[in-house]
Amino acid sequence: MRGPHNVWRLIRTGATFQRSGAMGVVLQAMDAPRPVRVLARTMGWTFAWLGHRGDPDLPPVTRALTALGPAYIKFGQILSTRPDLVGSDLATQLRVLQDQLPPFATDIAKQTVETELERPLGDILASFDDPVAAASIAQVHKATLAETGEEVAVKVLRPGIERAFRKDIDAFYLAASTIELLSPASRRLRPMDVVDHFDGVVRGELDLRMESASASEFAANTSDDAGFAVPNTNWGLSGRRVMVQSWAEGVPLGDNDAIDAAGHNRRDLGERVLQLFLNHALRDGFFHGDMHQGNMKVAANGDIIAYDFGIMGRIDEYTRRVYAEILFGFIRRDYQRVAEVHFEAGYVPADQDVAEFARALRSVGDPIFGMDASHISMGRLLSHLFDVTEQFGMQTRTELILLQRTMVVVEGVARSLDPHLNIWEVAKPIVEGYIKTHIGPRAMLRDLGKTALVLSRFGPKLPELAEAMLVRQMAQPEPPKRTRIWPAIAWMAVGAAAATTIIWLT
């Protein structure tokens, strides 16, 4: 579906922002330069008649995003956790996008459940209430199981959501390709790869069977986490367009007044949200990729309950170690080591100067070290960080996009609970604990053990590999002056001996 016809979609995006009154709000909230404001206003006025009207009962920006479709709504959800970037008024408006969007008809939801599960609704559920939450891709109904009387949450995809999202993503691809064409400097940010990554994440979110699997894995990983809970998934009543989980009773994490009234400590909750995310990302390599306030509640006993597992992130062990070392370096203000890790991981081109990069990182880290969140302007910080990455030719790492985005969201959630939170102090014990167990002599021994196990599995193949290498060497018409086959065989022998020794010792 990608093609020039998506130009219409982009034009209509700008026109909708102008017609709904969102253009001026966004430009003011982002403190856009005057030339940008003039250009945006001129284009907006020219094409305003082409824009969607939207729901006049909603605030301007929320009205524009909901009129434009689910992908735009997702973007608004992220900004709703960043009052320091868009202002508290706009952030409050955008919070409606998390779980308070206009629902679709309950009768359609019931029909979807019956079609998906191939059973009459009355045989499955004793009650099926009107939607309690409606988001960009699905909505949730509170229901009661007919057999057990258990209260459950029934998640149902919006009708036609797959096609609607496809249209949005296609327009994003066109926008990314246009940006790369017109702005060569933007190519290091890899806009097309970023959209491609977002596309893959959303495709997984549109299949609730994948979400059920993610919820099950996440629950197993976090079963021993104090102060944290995940609803149980009913696999027998879940399918591609329907998902059933145990009901999560609690106070929404975004409702500070209700949290205070229930007697919960918001500072403790803010610290716990941040530490839980770091634990899941570093310890498990599998984390909730959409941890905004609309996807978490506080139970009566103080536990944080997470739900909506459509977007999950996964990072490998090596990336986790790099991420931990970077965080640890910032916490210790060891900018030289932070710079070295960036070079070792290939995040910064090798022809750049390590010492200069360390100095640039110090200019980012030192001004905010030890400060509570209320004194940090994330807008200025991110702007400065962007300048640094551009100066040293750093490219966007698509494998880290979701991790970085979620870190921004979680930090925004934590500061919404306690504006005076010291992020570095909260992160320190988690990062230090990971460093002690995963980087150093113990980690090296563990890696050697894993290597030995791999070699032991391929042990019977080693003679065949050696023979194949010898045959290839002998088949060469003119063998090289110094054959490389014997060093290879020697390394195989050393590896096999090492594997045998380590296995015997363990």
pLDDT tens-digit series, residues 42-52 = 766 777 777 77
How does residue 35 score in pLDDT terms, banded at 50, 70 and 90? low
- Checking if the pLDDT of 350 tops 70, the result is yes
Is 18 part of a structural domain of the chain? yes
Residue percentage of the chain with pLDDT more than 90: 31
Strands (E), 181-295: 228-229, 242-246, 251-252, 286-288
Residue 320 amino acid letter: R
Assess whether 279 and 415 both reside in one domain: yes
How buried is residue 142: exposed, middle or buried, by Cβ count under 10 Å (0-12/13-18/19+)? Answer: middle
Assess whether 346 and 479 both reside in one domain: no
End position of a domain, from candidates 99, 114, 138: 99
Assess whether 324 and 367 both reside in one domain: yes
Is 185 part of a structural domain of the chain? no
Task: Please report the pLDDT score of residue 505 as a whole number.
Answer: 42
Is 195 part of a structural domain of the chain? no
End position of a domain, from candidates 55, 84, 99: 99
Could you tell me the two tokens for 479?
A: 């063998």
pTM of the model as a whole? 0.72
Which of helix, strand or coil describes residue 21?
A: coil
Is 300 part of a structural domain of the chain? yes
Arithmetic mean of pLDDT over the chain: 80
Assess whether 424 and 474 both reside in one domain: no
Task: Please report the pLDDT score of residue 328 as a whole number.
Answer: 85
Return the HEC string of 84-133: HHHCHHHHHHHCHHHHECCCCCHHHHHHHHHHHHCCCHHHHEEEEEEEEE
Plot region of 21 (φ>0 → left; ψ -120 to 50 → alpha; else → beta) = left
Assess whether 496 and 408 both reside in one domain: no
Task: Please report the pLDDT score of residue 372 as a whole number.
Answer: 61
Assess whether 268 and 280 both reside in one domain: yes
Task: Give the other-Cβ count within 10 Å of 21's Cβ.
Answer: 14
Assess whether 336 and 462 both reside in one domain: no
Task: Please report the pLDDT score of residue 64 as a whole number.
Answer: 86
Is 457 part of a structural domain of the chain? yes
Beta bridge partners of 72: none
- Checking if the pLDDT of 496 tops 60, the result is no
Is 304 part of a structural domain of the chain? yes
Q: Into how many domains does the chain fold?
A: 3
Write down the residue that tokens 């229901």 correspond to. 143
Range ranked top by mean pLDDT from 16-25, 226-235, 434-443:
226-235
C-alpha distances in angstroms, 325 versus 57, 332, 397, 424, 452?
Answer: 48, 10, 17, 14, 26
Beta bridge partners of 140: 133, 155
Assess whether 270 and 355 both reside in one domain: yes
Which residues are known catalytic residues?
290
Assess whether 271 and 363 both reside in one domain: yes
Assess whether 413 and 268 both reside in one domain: yes
- Report, as an integer, the average pLDDT of 368-388: 62
End position of a domain, from candidates 99, 133, 163: 99
Assess whether 398 and 457 both reside in one domain: no
Query: Nearest-5° angle of CA 51, CA 34, CA 96?
Result: 45
Of 87-96, 158-167, 287-296, 427-436, which gets the smallest average pLDDT? 87-96
Assess whether 392 and 455 both reside in one domain: no
Cα–Cα distance between 315 and 164 in angstroms, integer?
29
Is 204 part of a structural domain of the chain? no
Is 325 part of a structural domain of the chain? yes
| Domain extent at residue 22 | 6-99
Return the HEC string of 338-407: HHHHHHHCCCCCCCCCHHHHHHHHHHHHHHHCCCCHHHCCHHHHHHHHHHHHHHCCCCCCHHHHHHHHHH
- Checking if the pLDDT of 502 tops 60, the result is no
CB 134 within 8 A of CB 100: yes
